[in-house]
Structure 1
Amino acid sequence: MLWGLALVGAAGVGFVCARATLQPPAVDVVASGDLTVTVVEATVGRSVPYVVRGEWTQTPAGAGASEGVVTTQHVDGAEAVIPGTVVYTVDLRPVVVGLGEVPSFRDLSQSMQGRDVGQVQALLRETGHLTAAAGDGIFDEVTASAVREWQRSLGVEADGIVRAGDVVYLPSLPARIVLDDEVGVGSRVSVGQPVLDIVSDVPELSITVSLDEVEQVTSGPLRVALDSGPVEAVVASTRTTESGDALLVLAAPDGSALCGDRCADVPRDPAAATYRAERVVVPEATGSAVPTSAVRTSGDGTTFVTTPAGERRAVEVRAQGDGLTVVEGVDVGDEVRLIGSEP
């Protein structure tokens, strides 16, 4: 349960951390005379709050061979794309992705051969325009016919020539991809310019603190309040930021992604991907609560409270925080004396 979080900005270090205790629910302390209080039910616990930020990392993966203006965009990183997917258009001509290590560098037509021809043939097989048995790196008539069929499916002139700018090859597919930060509708692209980035499969969820606070963060269990509900977290790795702070990458206790099967719910916008977290200092406990000043310890180590009649009643302390103590040994509605009230 996350309640009463108070965040304190750390001046000059560019991050937010917190050193505040969780405020317990309001407790009606009923006085009987001036020196006794009534036992009530309450939840007590203490935690240190932090801010978790989510980020989808982008890795440059593909350079284009088109010259012109980007006229439409068809990918946003939300879904994985496969070979043959149209990712954007340049001067209204579709550009698709293909699987391959050789970047597109020349126009391809009948009678040409090479590894780049083999990549086109693999693309045509993936899109269903070339049979699995065809394609040996030689641009023959069968390949030319498949290219024309493919071109018709894209709505461009079916001349059997694959322009260099028609395909951007990526090292792995399927993949979630976005346009490079320098590329967008209305921008001009040139040959060899990076145009596509591969988006990480899962977002990185992290806490940024000063180097002096790393041990404090890792000294107890962490709970993160994701949109899908609270989850337990551990620090999986640590690295130093350019500003000299510590970035603590979080994971599930078994080492898997902290967001589990709900990672798609983490917003792409870093400003929107922020979550509350807390390191538990005193685990929450709910039960019979009295002011901490009513709990005393005898010479033999026994913890007790005192009834209005002066009887010492042994209790077991379950949790303490913000002036309240949850104990076992008294019931809600009982009355106990405060320290200093004994005759």
Structure 2
Amino acid sequence: MAASGWVRSPAEVAANTDPPTATVITAPVVYKVLRNSVVVRGTFETAQTTSFTPSSVLSPDGRSSGSPILVVSRVLKKLAQKARAGSVIAEVSYRPVFVLHGQVPAVRDLSQGMSGRDVSQLQSALAEVGFSTAGDEPGVFSGATASAVKRFYAKIGYPVPLATGFAGGQESGRPPAGTPEGNVPAAMDKETADNGRKTVAKVMVPMSEVMYVPTFPSVITSIPTQVGGKIPDPLVTLNSRRLRLTAKLDQEQAHSVRPGQRVHVYSEMTGISLDALVGPVGQIVTPRRSGSTESAGGSRAEEEAITPYRPVQIISKQAWPAKLDGENVRVTVTAASTEGPVLAVPQSALSTAADGLTVVTVQEKNGSQRRVAVEAGMSAEGLVEVRPRKGELAEGQQVVIGK
């Protein structure tokens, strides 16, 4: 009976217990650069392939059209060897096939009197291998360019190609097949006599002999191994060893990523960390489903594999380290950032006062609170840039984010 006086019912305990004191949750005001980042995966590869197949050829002396049957008469490079700018890699019907640095394949024979961007590319390529065209206007095939072409052909050991044209005018093209060396057709003689103009032989670079390659050194991945047979298609294929980094953006990410934005590349496997820039963003690619059947265990991976994406090239000012070849890396694109450090608070610290102003509540060290009107700016990383409008706000102060 005595012990029963100490027993209390749950209702009595609840009635005599005070509610717990509300706890205020705060977070510090920070002063930092805010960056809105897009994080994707990218893969390094060396798949930049250039192929070349001539469709015609000059005669061995370079003065007339050659045989319509194109044969491999010499192979100067082997499979897996490096091809450098200015080098001859093969010979077709006793005429050279050489490589020069250029982004665009040759689309026409170039000779004195011609002009255009393809002439500019030829001039730059010749200068890179030691044959200056200084004295000619960029993009115009004149005397200095002709001299450079002559010296280049002399170095590689082949007669310089010549096209028949009128003095002081545009070239008339290659002489017809079977024209005797140094002669021109009778019809052309008559026309020349009628016009009182003199025909001359003009230095030419035929599209059948020059293979433009975007990047050097490049490795030969296909080339004939025997001479005497008809040329294969392609005659030769080169693969650049220069690494390229390509990332994949989904539709939402693509809206935030633009060429020129800063990029941070990190390889978890090697620990290599590099800065780069966003390059060209490609068109939407929709992978095809490869005849697989859906299953409970593999449906998610399959969905990811066929999700449309936009490829984006990541550009480095310096060559990528060779050990990154084949690596899958983390690519962080800074889509936007503040110009410098700013005051920032968690998004949950912002509220709207009765007068419509955006405010944060500062918790003082003594437990008191005060409201500070702010102007919100950029948001990133779960934080919002704030600029005080009324009242003081400083780094390290505590703002209320919940209770």
Higher-strand-fraction structure: 1
The structure with the larger Rg is: 2
